[in-house]
Amino acid sequence: MQKKFVGSLALLLFVNFLIKPIWIFGIDLEVQNQVGSDAYGLYSAVLSFVMIFNIVLDLGLAHYSNREIATDPQQLARHFSELFMIKISLAGVYFLVAMGLGFFLGFWSGGAQLLLWLSLSQVFASALFFLRSHLTGLHLFKWDAVLSVFDKSLMILTAGYLLYFSQSGIDVQIFAALQALAYGLTAGLALLLILWRVPYFKPHFRWMKFRKKLGRSLPYALMIFLMAMYTRIDQLMLQQLIGNSEAGIYAQAFRLLDTFNQPAYLFSVLLLPMFATLISREEPVSDLAKLSFVLIYVMSLSITLGGVFEAEELMAYLYDEHSEISSGLLQILLFSSLSMGATYVFGTMLTARGNLRELNYIAFGGLILNVIFNALLIPKYGARGAAVATLVTQSLSALLQFRLCYRLANLAWRSSFLWRFLAYSLQALLLAYGLSLLEMDWYWSLLLIIGGAAASVVLWRLLPWAQGIELLKQRLKDRSST
């Protein structure tokens, strides 16, 4: 089982790192270059809007089904038959919420087709996530890995043809429709795989029976909703307060922030079961927390410093317009990735501990603070104000989560570690500044800054290399004996 899981996890990481960069830089970014910041700004605002209310489509059902089926795979048919009709009902509620609020926000007048197609894509995306949770519950990890990038692969083929080979080109309505089609086909394939394993399928609605169990997942649903609100609402507020073009410029920088955060996010996926196991065994989590925090911080800081010092050249290379403005936004947003990386560690630890009430308080506070800062800064400073609001909100949330973990989990981090941590940060900053002054092409400078900042962590003994080497030897020994 362990070998199967590790092999499937490696496949999952491989296909995601292979396909998603092509999707982000070859398709999504190129769409913005072709349609312009104004049209893409409306698209990004509507997308943020429909993603904020995505939680209505799930309400914790995916986590519930994953846990229950993994415990007893024989329950697959009964659980799937019960939950199928609930998912359809939630999809209806979601459409009412999205269309109703979209009308009041003015999307019907200028982006009705976008609202329709992107809402439909969220329905299919949620269905896919729900169906994949059944596949992982059945330990069909390889199929889950394939489905995790199947929709993006379809988009690369269809949208890629229109972008690079068709004279007709593409617009945001067609782009949104292709997304809905890709999600729909992928969800359909996942449904066929599930029905292949279900001995009988009799959809029925038993809300009263499920309501009590659903209540256990609602705190998770609330946390996801609040975090989605204060990470996505900035683009929506930009479009509503300033206009489509400013939201499109902001999307240029936010796309790179989202991309650079993906490795840290994958770390958090691995950390959750590891923290949960240690906590259930009443074992200390301090060492794992320190190791994971340093790894994510070094990775985030290295990319941040490279992006900050080479922002102008990088954005000019990627985008056809507004690169000077978006490069300044990127410099601000990249520093927020340090806080986001810390959240992936400490927020994950609090989730594993079951401290959802405290997490929801922090997330709710972050939402209120983000809305206030955006409301004050966007009218005066535009996208730059939204970037500052994101940086402040993410930093305060990360500090509160760290403080809570330090108190609840008894993180025994010595003061010497903290001083070495600060010294490494300062040294990496000075090294990056020095490398940026060298006369070389910007891409070589970017790579040198990232590599130099990452490698210099060795000088400060922040990572337990001896334990890592010993663990690697033990893993190789176990592998050779099997």
Residue 59 backbone zone (phi > 0: left; psi -120 to 50: alpha; other: beta): left
Q: Would you say residue 131 has pLDDT above 60?
A: yes
- The residue assigned the tokens 């102008």 is 312
Q: What is residue 27's predicted lDDT score, i.e. its pLDDT?
A: 94
pLDDT tens for residues 90-99?
888 898 889 9
Who has greater pLDDT, 14 or 35? 35
- pLDDT of residue 166 exceeding 80, the answer is yes
Q: What is the pLDDT of residue 452?
A: 95
Percent above pLDDT 70 for the chain: 82
- pLDDT, average across residues 80-87: 73
pLDDT, the chain, mean: 83
Which pLDDT band, with edges at 50, 70 and 90, does 5 fall under? Answer: very low
Dig out the tokens for 477 from the structure. 């020994």
Nearest residue to 43 (alpha-carbon basis) of 120, 140, 118, 93? 118
pLDDT at 13: 62
Mark 157-188 as b/e (b = at least 16 C-beta within 10 Å). Answer: ebbbebbeeeeeebbbbbbbbbbbbbbbebbe
Place 194 in a pLDDT band, splitting at 50, 70 and 90: confident
pTM of the model: 0.83
- Tens digits of per-residue pLDDT, 252-290? 999 999 888 887 777 776 677 678 777 878 888 888 888
Output 224 or 299, whichever has higher pLDDT.
Answer: 299
pLDDT tens digits along 215-226:
666 777 787 788
pLDDT tens digit string along 362-408?
A: 999 999 999 999 999 999 999 999 999 999 999 999 999 999 998 88
pLDDT digits (tens, 9 = 90+) for 429-473: 999 999 999 989 999 999 999 999 999 998 888 876 555 455 444
| Mean pLDDT score, 20-25 | 90
Model pLDDT, residue 108? 83
